[in-house]
Amino acid sequence: MTRILVVIDMQNDFIDGALGTREAIGIVPAAVRKIQNFEGPIFFTKDTHSQNYMTTAEGRNLPVQHCIKGTDGWRLHPMIEKVCIDRNACGVEKITFGSVMLPEMLKERYPDGMDELELIGLCTDICIISNALLLKSFFPETTIRVDSSCCAGVTPESHNTALEAMKMCQIVID
């Protein structure tokens, strides 16, 4: 059985930086344990913007400069980074909510398909839901799962709303 863990945007700016929340800080230990104990390959995404972020469509709609490539806020949280290195996780940078490179990379590495893709990370209501739906579109017969105990949203309410929306799209919520 091919099971893959996808760690979405566990970066400093989303945890305790420019867009950080108490809930995001709170999931770090559970995410570290999940990565350490996961039996299978691990991939991670990094939200990646350039200095011109504020002039982009996202920057105009979310005018908080964050995850500028090369800054401390762009880096993975130190505990997440360590365990990803220890587990030889494969990273992919993304310039928007959903990573179009991730499904392409997965198709290339697993041409015979995968049984399950499990997502954890930040933010449930933006990047987790975007990537879950994107992966479901690319791999309709693969079980897409989200471990809600290892995710946090912009607010607790929007986190729960995103989980409910994903359930309606046949994504398994744990």
- Residues of the chain with pLDDT > 90, as a percent, come to 99
Residues 6+ apart with CB under 8 A from 95: 48, 49
CB 140 within 8 A of CB 29: no
Residue 50 has pLDDT above 90, yes or no: yes
The CA R_g of the chain, rounded to the nearest whole Å, is 15
CB 4 within 8 A of CB 117: yes
Per-residue pLDDT tens over the stretch 83-128: 999 999 999 999 999 999 999 999 999 999 999 999 999 999 999 9
Strand 42-47 to 90-94 pairing? parallel
Work out the average pLDDT over 128-144. 98
What percent of the residues of the chain are helix, what percent strand, and what percent coil, each to the nearest 5? 45, 25, 35
| Per-residue pLDDT, 1 | 84
Between 1 and 27, whose confidence is greater?
27
CATH topology of domain 3-173: Rossmann fold (3.40.50)
| Per-residue pLDDT, 123 | 97
Work out the average pLDDT over 125-136. 98
Per-residue pLDDT tens over the stretch 143-162: 999 999 999 999 999 999 99
Q: Which helix (H) or strand (E) holds 116?
A: strand 116-122
